[in-house]
């Protein structure tokens, strides 16, 4: 979950490293550090806190180095501190390393190294790496790193710099992203593409087990045995400005407003012009296999899991096949009844989520067909799945996911309709009706965003509350879970979602005077029952914020505030319903003075278990 940047070239390395790290601070911001080669030595600076603290420490220093590596950390082993910050060095200061991931056997390696006289300073798992390089180094940094990775268990993206080999960086990857940026007389390394965009769009996506040898004039990639690997250049097509705030106060708000465009992009080319059929050319599953599927599993974490909960109801309704939605961190450990006739759908914004990747591998081991829904081309999950449906949401910087979630929902609808087509479980006229409504979601999302100021005004009235409840029925309950997550992760208000029908089975004990209750009532078949449930809350003098479809004005009789979404097919309502909930969470967070884009203790891409 940390950010890595490396540079070798003819210009000053420090500004390049700092600028690159600023693009990756969303991946980790407990501490930051750099190390550069200058005057035949490695010069190191690292600091607890945000990148700005490191920048202040570097002011006034005259570093003209042309080669270096940098890191922003999200703590796993060892509390955030100056000492635990990366880069880490060996006993002599000859080698320095930055690392993303977790070295699972680090204690065993540390004990072995200590027995050989190595001295450790930090509490991190990473520190074993420079000491291992020191142990194996015989004059060639690449050969030493090859020997090091043979000893490692776990996940890693590693970059090493050596005092004795100026102008050279060597890197390795296993289950943690690593990208090379190709320049003219200079080359770059990073854990994510935004760090490279200011300098180049020509990249190499490094795969598991590969080692990179980087100089200003050359990039050589090899496998673990040293055999050269030929890599195709991946041209980045999205603009650098897409990864910037674009005039918005926060990335999260910008990304909420990008949703209409993201919805259009996700649907683009995937529906026939006549709205008759779904086209998913990326799925290479023959019809015989599709018809054999007897169970679907949707596996994900966090917000992606909530998209999976919507997908469960959608696919069961459209395809008439049992669907289980699983939290990825639990999937492997419950002995899932997965086999060759199962379809497993893994959902991950980054495509690097460690628990989801592990679930994918377990599903494949059990013989299932695996479809990935992800936003990142070339990610681990996209490469290891049998088939991939990309969300095309564009880069999402804010830790709290917004446009990634709504585009994941679109992919769930497309997959459900595609399966229904293949299996013949839905009449053509019903498929067309849903597809027509899908195309209209983008414009309807824009009308919700036009109501932002009214939602902001409602939000301000609840900024001082410390508890909130979200209720709904059917698909509304699933969206309520995502709404509660958004509120608590960025505003730190305790928020819980409950099925509205469960209120009388215990939850009403928590409903007291003036506690905010966000009530979702967009499902026509359940509307009257939902109104009855809201009345139960009303009787306890709670404060009701209701969400309903336009035309259902009866809801105003039981709510203190009402937010309407444009009318749409009830199955598609989650895409629209979640947008006011995102805005509600955003404005409450701002009003409370919270760090919206970087909520405490959280990071964007969870690449550790």
Residues recognised as catalytic: 2, 604
Report CA-CA distances (Å) from 169 to 57, 72, 201, 212, 445.
24, 18, 20, 8, 47
Whether 303 and 405 have beta carbons less than 8 Å apart is answered as yes
Sheet holding 494-499, edge to edge: 494-499, 467-472, 516-521, 543-549, 561-565
DSSP letter string, 453-519: HHHHHHHHTTTT-SEEEEEESTHHHHHHHHHHHHHHHHH--EEEEEEGGGGGGTGGGG--TT-EEEE
Structure tokens at 298: 């949707």
Collapsing DSSP to helix, strand or coil, 302 comes out as: helix
What is the length of the chain? 609
Q: How far is CA 581 from CA 218, 407, 464, 514, in A?
A: 49, 16, 17, 19
SS3 label, residue 362: helix
- For 396, half-sphere exposure in the C-beta direction (CA atoms, 13 angstrom radius) is 29
What secondary structure letter does DSSP report for 270? Answer: S
Query: What is the CA angle 247-249-253, rounded to 5?
Result: 95
Q: DSSP state, 50? A: S
8 Å CB contact between 205 and 189: no
The whole-angstrom separation of Cα 179 and Cα 600 is 27
What is the separation of C-alpha 151 from the centre of its chain, rounded to a whole number of angstroms?
29
527-538: buried (b, 16+ CB within 10 Å) or exposed (e) per residue? beebbebbebbb
Between CA 125 and CA 169 the distance in angstroms is 21
Q: How many CB atoms sit inside 10 A of residue 255's CB? A: 27
Cα dihedral 552, 556, 558, 559, rounded to 10, equals: 120
3-state SS assignment for residue 299: strand
* CA 252 – CA 487 distance, rounded (Å): 13
């Amino acid at each position: 979950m940390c950010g890595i940047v490396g540079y070798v070239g003819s210009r000053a390395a420090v500004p390049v490293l700092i600028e690159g790290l600023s693009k990756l601070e969303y991946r980790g911001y407990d501490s930051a550090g750099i190390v550069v080669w200058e005057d035949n030595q490695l010069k190191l600076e690292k600091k607890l806190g945000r990148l700005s603290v490191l920048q202040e420490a570097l002011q006034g220093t005259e570093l003209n180095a042309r080669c270096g590596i940098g890191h922003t950390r999200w703590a796993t082993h060892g509390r955030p501190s100056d000492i635990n910050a990366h880069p880490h060095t060996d006993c002599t200061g000859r080698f320095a390393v930055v690392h993303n991931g977790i070295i699972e056997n680090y204690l065993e390696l540390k004990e072995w190294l200590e027995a050989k006289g190595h001295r450790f300073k930090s509490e991190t798992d990473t520190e074993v790496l420079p000491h291992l390089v020191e142990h194996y180094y015989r004059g060639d940094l690449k050969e030493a790193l090859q020997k090091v990775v043979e000893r490692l268990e776990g996940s890693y993206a590693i970059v090493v710099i050596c005092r004795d080999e100026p102008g050279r960086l060597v890197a390795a990857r296993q289950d943690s992203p690593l990208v090379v940026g190709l320049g003219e007389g200079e080359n770059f390394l990073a854990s994510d593409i935004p760090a490279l965009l200011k300098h180049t769009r020509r990249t190499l996506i490094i795969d598991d087990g590969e080692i990179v040898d980087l100089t200003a004039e050359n990039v050589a990639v090899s496998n673990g045995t040293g055999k050269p690997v030929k890599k195709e250049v991946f041209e980045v097509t999205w603009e650098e400005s897409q990864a910037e705030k674009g005039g918005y106060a926060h990335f999260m708000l910008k990304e909420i407003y990008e949703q209409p465009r993201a919805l259009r992009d996700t649907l683009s080319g995937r529906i026939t012009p006549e709205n008759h059929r779904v086209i998913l050319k990326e799925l290479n599953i023959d019809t015989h296999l599709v018809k054999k599927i007897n169970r679907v599993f949707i596996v994900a974490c966090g917000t992606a899991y909530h998209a999976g909960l919507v997908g469960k109801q959608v696919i069961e309704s459209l395809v008439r096949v049992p669907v289980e939605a699983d939290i990825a961190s639990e999937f492997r450990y419950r002995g899932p009844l997965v086999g060759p006739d199962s379809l497993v759908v893994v959902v991950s914004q980054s495509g690097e989520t460690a628990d989801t990747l592990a679930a994918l591998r377990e599903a494949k081991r059990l013989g299932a067909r695996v479809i990935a829904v992800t936003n990142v081309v070339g990610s681990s999950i996209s490469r290891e799945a049998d088939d991939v449906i990309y969300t095309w949401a564009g880069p999402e910087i804010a830790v709290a996911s917004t446009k990634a979630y709504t585009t994941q929902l679109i992919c769930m609808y497309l997959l459900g309709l595609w399966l229904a087509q293949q299996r013949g479980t839905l009449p053509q006229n019903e498929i067309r009706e849903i597809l027509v409504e899908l195309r209209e979601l983008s414009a309807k999302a824009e009308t919700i965003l036009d109501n932002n100021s009214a939602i902001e005004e409602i939000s301000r009235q609840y900024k001082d509350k410390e508890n909130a409840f979200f209720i709904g029925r059917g698909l509304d309950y699933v969206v309520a879970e995502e709404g509660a997550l958004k509120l608590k992760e960025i505003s730190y208000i305790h928020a819980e979602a409950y099925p509205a029908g469960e209120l009388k089975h215990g939850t009403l004990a928590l409903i007291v005077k003036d506690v905010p209750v966000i009530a979702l009532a967009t499902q026509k078949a359940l509307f009257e029952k939902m109104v009855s449930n809201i009345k139960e809350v009303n009787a306890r003098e709670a404060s009701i914020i209701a969400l309903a479809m336009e035309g259902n004005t009866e809801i105003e009789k039981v709510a203190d505030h009402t937010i309407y979404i444009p009318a749409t097919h009830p199955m598609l309502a989650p895409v629209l319903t979640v947008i006011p909930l995102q805005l509600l969470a955003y404005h409450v967070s701002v009003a409370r003075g919270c760090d919206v884009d970087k909520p405490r203790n959280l990071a964007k891409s969870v690449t550790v278990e």
